[in-house]
Amino acid sequence: MRIKLRLLSYFGVTLLCSLIFSCLSLDPFLFKDQKVDAYLLDEYTGFRECASAIEFLKDSVQPVIDEISLMSGGETIYGLLLRHDTTEITQNDTLILYFHGTSDHIDRYWPRTKLLFATGFPVFVIDYRGYGKSTGEPTEEGCNEDGKQALAYIASNLNNPRVILYAFSLGSLPGCAVAAADAKGQIKQLVLEAPIGSVATLVQDASYLNLPGSFVTTFTGNNAERIKSVSIPLFWIHGTKDETLNRETNGLPIWQNHPGKKGYYIIAHESTHRENPITIGYSRYIKCLRDFIRDNSPKDPIMISK
């Protein structure tokens, strides 16, 4: 009897402790946000994706940089506008809106941002709430709202140019949400690099099993579904050795479900999640983007190796 009571007490205490703490949520773990007081850009010494692009672009036109802040759901969102000169952007211009990945802040993606600028078009990059100088804490809905407000800012403060939305990795969640909700047709083309298929796909790829996404997160982002209502041309880039987001389960369903005019896609042979521009080659990467934006893309997908 004493043994039974002891055993019951073991399980009782365990259960009680677990239930007390069962309010723990895994949602915040999806974001690897880091706050900063100022952007260091070329001077940043932390990890930068495609860092060699800074050296590669040293002799090209350097951007005129404006730091911009905008309001989104009570939070202040910071971003950088890169232009070739101080001339105002007009309605006839094309602007690339860049949604970065899950880690750190703009400084980490600064070389990537400069590569986009090297296409010859101005670039607007934002930090989602909780990232970099932006206030608040990142949430799924919050990041989507930040993306929408960035688009609204472009319309109202930058003379409503043609927008090319470039979304990388986690940025594809707000990217597809914003593109799908763009009733005014402000976004003319969409570029998805190593996108997330859906939050459920993340869970099922990680577990190898058909586990519900709700086991892990309340996030419901589903780009493979959202893309069905996006009819603008799509350019998809994904590496065959993407160790983070499997190409077949994440990017491919988006590409297949996209009903609009396809742009083209690049299969970056042997490329990992962060190295697509490196694998493709910076010059070729810039040319491919420029061709896509100028509607001069090849019809068939291309496989590019290092």
Partner 1 sequence: MKRLNAKTVLLLSTIVMIITNCSTIRQIRPLEKGQQSVSFSVGGPVTEVGSVYIPLPLMSFGYNRGLIDNTLDLETGLHVTQLLYGILDVEVGVNFRPFQSKAWQPGLIISPKLFFMTDFSGGARLYPDLCLTGFWKLHEKVYLFTGLENWFEFSSTRDDGLEQKNHWLLVPYIGTNIGSQRWQFQFETRVYTPNLKNTGRATKNIGFGEYGVLGFFLGVNFTPGKEKK
Residues that bind partner 1 (CB under 8 A): 3, 7, 10-11, 14-15, 18-19, 21-26, 28-34, 46, 102-104, 197-198, 200-217, 222, 224, 241-247, 249, 253
- Residue 291 beta carbon to partner 1: minimum distance, rounded to whole angstroms: 29
For residue 165, give the H/E element and its range.
Answer: strand 162-168
- Residue 99 beta carbon to partner 1: minimum distance, rounded to whole angstroms: 18
3-state secondary structure of 37: coil
- Residue 223 beta carbon to partner 1: minimum distance, rounded to whole angstroms: 10
Q: What is the CA radius of gyration of the chain?
A: 21
Q: Looking at beta carbons only, is 23 or 38 nearer to partner 1?
A: 23
- Residue 51 beta carbon to partner 1: minimum distance, rounded to whole angstroms: 16
Spatial separation of the C-alpha atoms in residues 76 and 133, rounded to whole Å? 8
- Residue 199 beta carbon to partner 1: minimum distance, rounded to whole angstroms: 9
3-state secondary structure of 39: coil
Q: Looking at beta carbons only, is 111 or 213 nearer to partner 1?
A: 213
3-state secondary structure of 243: coil
198 bridge partner residues: 222
Q: Looking at beta carbons only, is 13 or 71 nearer to partner 1?
A: 13
3-state secondary structure of 90: coil
Q: Looking at beta carbons only, is 9 or 90 nearer to partner 1?
A: 9
Token representation of residue 238: 């994904």
Place of tokens 């790829």: 205
3-state secondary structure of 15: helix
Q: What angle do CA 272, 277, 283 make, to 5 degrees?
A: 150
Q: Looking at beta carbons only, is 215 or 299 nearer to partner 1?
A: 215
Token representation of residue 173: 């969640």
Place of tokens 């101005």: 122
Token representation of residue 104: 């750190």
Compute CA 42 distance to the chain's CA centroid, rounded to the nearest angstrom. Answer: 21
- Residue 191 beta carbon to partner 1: minimum distance, rounded to whole angstroms: 21
Q: Looking at beta carbons only, is 39 or 124 nearer to partner 1?
A: 39
